[in-house]
């Protein structure tokens, strides 16, 4: 494993109720110091007790949106990682609650790259990169006109474009 990753020695909390997901994340991020939680109570204790460079949250099974609120309040860049809650509504809620990005579990092999973007972006939201990289994927999942149907996404994308100029 390359040691020149910006993730090297970062402290990351990953929360998921599926043990195989926790193990996969651990394998993908073997250059990091990883704390794992498989339920809400363990996760909330970790969020309150420790400081993290990045927090990765599942949505379903661990009350991920409530954990997201606490994580953001603590100032931790937070990534939503989900399979069952992969919907425009969950994406919108993640954005509104302050997540920095959102990754489908079936894109897990790309997790390291996304987290490196979070570190290189100094923990600021990387939504434009997500939409650039995942646009076709979301179009296939949600339908080709999913952003046009929702004023929130139309306005959000317009704001992203204006802020990048």
The pTM for the full model equals 0.92
pLDDT at 1 over 60: no
Kindly give the residue spans of alpha helices, DSSP state H, lying in the chain: 19-28, 40-49, 64-73, 88-97, 111-120, 127-142, 151-163
Closest CA to 90 of 109, 64, 116: 64
pLDDT recorded at residue 165: 60
- Distance from C-alpha of 31 to C-alpha of 28, rounded to nearest angstrom: 8
The pLDDT tens digits of the residues spanning 47-97 come to 999 999 999 999 999 999 999 999 999 999 999 998 877 888 999 999 999
Query: Would you list the domain boundaries of the chain?
Result: 11-125
Q: What percent of the chain has pLDDT over 90?
A: 61
Contact 44, 69 (CB under 8 A): no
Superfamily of domain 11-125: Response regulator (3.40.50.2300)
The pLDDT tens digits of the residues spanning 28-39 come to 999 999 999 999
């Amino acid at each position: 494993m390359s040691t020149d990753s910006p993730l090297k020695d970062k402290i990351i909390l990953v929360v998921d109720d599926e043990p195989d997901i926790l193990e996969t994340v651990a394998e993908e991020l073997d250059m990091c110091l990883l704390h794992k939680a498989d339920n809400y109570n363990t996760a909330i204790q970790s969020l309150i007790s420790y400081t993290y460079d990045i927090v990765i949250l599942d949505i379903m099974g661990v009350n991920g949106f409530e954990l997201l609120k606490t994580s953001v309040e603590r100032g931790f860049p937070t990534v939503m990682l989900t399979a069952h809650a992969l919907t425009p509504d969950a994406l919108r809620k993640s954005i509104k609650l302050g997540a920095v990005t959102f990754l489908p579990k079936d894109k897990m092999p790309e997790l390291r790259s996304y987290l490196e973007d979070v570190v290189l972006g100094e923990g600021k939201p990387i939504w434009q990169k997500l939409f650039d990289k995942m646009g076709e994927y979301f179009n296939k999942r949600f339908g080709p006109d999913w952003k046009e149907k929702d004023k929130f996404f139309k306005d959000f994308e317009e704001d992203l474009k204006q802020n990048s100029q």
